[in-house]
Amino acid sequence: MDSAKRLGRRLLPQFIALALILALIWMVFPAFFSLEMQNGRLYGSLIDVLNRGAPVALLAVGMTVVIATKGIDLSVGAVMAICGAVAAASSVRGDPLVLTLALAIGTGLICGLWNGFLVAVLNIQPIIATLVLMVAGRGIAQLVTEGAILTFNDPGLIYIGSGSFAFLPMPVITWLVFGIAVAVLLRRTALGMLIEAIGINRRASTLSGIQTPVLLMAAYMLSGFCAALAGLIVTADIKGADANNAGLWLELDAILAVVVGGTSLLGGRFSIIASLVGAMIIQAINTGILLSGFPRNST
């Protein structure tokens, strides 16, 4: 009860911002809130916002935890491309869906492990450490796809990007379930507090007996995992792996979502739910601008 009230007060500014933006879009585009049911799935601009915002929302989950440790992960966009490429290549080879997913997510975890190793063990500044993979990652993705856009037509994999479940598109279900699961995991265990402690004062945390390197690596691995999920969704959505454009600049959107969600870039106190709302705020603005329909060559 008490904690619910605290969460409400924490999220109030984000919800007010979201409401204002939705109201603004509604004034320009009155049909914004209309929903209709087709083929057992809801359609409408609102659903569009939730659906298109899925990659950023997923990235924001991992990014929140990394930023809470006083770090940053610039590589998520490139990791999305790598994981998408790995999934597409695996699908093209004819691997079963489970193996494809495992390979993609395993790749994301390895990328996270690499970042975590640079940050936690070699003590490289996070912004530099993750820049390595940001720059090199697209090259790796190109290697996997051998320079082409790998297309596939495994219906199982495509379902992740454009299927629907319980009247909602799959990506919406994915980020909602995953985001809330991570938030609950961090708050029901002591992980959340320990991560905040590391972000606020790493040395004092180590002196208190916290396994700082292990937790830091875990944070970057979570970010890699999120990037893998986002990469799968983007790849499945277009039924092909585009090493050059999948997840391009999405790391910046994810960081923005975390900041809009009110988590300080200096580390410490964080809220995953707030970051998810932040991601939706960004997507609502994007969709709103498109819907208000200014042709590019007008004015």
Contact residues for another protein, defined by CB under 8 A: 3, 188-191, 193-194, 196-197, 200-201, 203-211, 215, 268-269
CB of 31 to another protein, least distance (A): 45
- DSSP characters over 29-58: -GGGG--EEETTEEESHHHHHHHHTHHHHH
**Token pair recorded at residue 159:** 């379902």
* 24 vs 191, beta carbon nearer another protein: 191
Tally helices (H) and strands (E) across the chain. 13, 6
* 171 vs 192, beta carbon nearer another protein: 192
CB of 43 to another protein, least distance (A): 42
CB of 277 to another protein, least distance (A): 22
CB of 203 to another protein, least distance (A): 6
Contact yes or no for 174/243 (Cβ under 8 A): no
* 71 vs 84, beta carbon nearer another protein: 71
CB of 204 to another protein, least distance (A): 5
**Token pair recorded at residue 287:** 């969709």
Q: Return the half-sphere exposure (C-beta side, CA atoms, 13 A cut-off) of residue 90.
A: 24
Residue 126, SS3? helix
CB of 3 to another protein, least distance (A): 8
* 188 vs 296, beta carbon nearer another protein: 188
* 79 vs 272, beta carbon nearer another protein: 272
CB of 10 to another protein, least distance (A): 14
End-to-end CA distance of the chain: 53
* 59 vs 65, beta carbon nearer another protein: 65
Contact yes or no for 271/123 (Cβ under 8 A): no
* 140 vs 186, beta carbon nearer another protein: 186
Q: What are phi and psi of 151, to 5 degrees?
A: -105, 155
Residue 72, SS3? coil
3 contacts: CB under 8 Å, gap ≥ 6: none
Q: How far, in Å, CA of 223 to CA of 228, rounded?
A: 9
